[in-house]
Amino acid sequence: MSNVIKRLLCADAALVLLGAIFRIYHWSGGGLTIFVGACLGIILLLCAAFGSRPINTLRVLFCLEGSLFIIGYMFKLFQWPGGTFIFLATCILGIILLLYTAIFHKFDK
């Protein structure tokens, strides 16, 4: 992952947290800030997944899982239909992916 994408992801996380503060205090613009930050986060995760050569399958799976997690979170937060199912399915897939990685992946020293 390039340094530019890492910096943009950090700035995006700050934007989402700012939106969360606005949403908690019921200030206007909180929902829009979270929505824009989440969409930007999904785009950045997809760029991180497919931006490096050679393409690392595990990195792509984790970035896709992160994108699906963000989508499920947004559906739950904004109470859109299907939010519970998307979020639950994404959490289960994340658990399976993490357990697979912990058991079968050979970590570099």
Give the C-alpha separation, 102 to 105, whole Å: 6
State yes or no: pLDDT of 100 exceeds 80: yes
pLDDT tops 70 at residue 109: no
- Work out the angle at residue 48's Cα, subtended by the Cα atoms of residues 34 and 85, and round it to the nearest 5 degrees: 50
Reported as a single tens digit per residue, the pLDDT across 59-97 is 899 999 999 999 999 999 899 999 999 989 999 999 999
Q: Are 85 and 107 in contact (CB under 8 A)?
A: no
pTM of this structure: 0.82
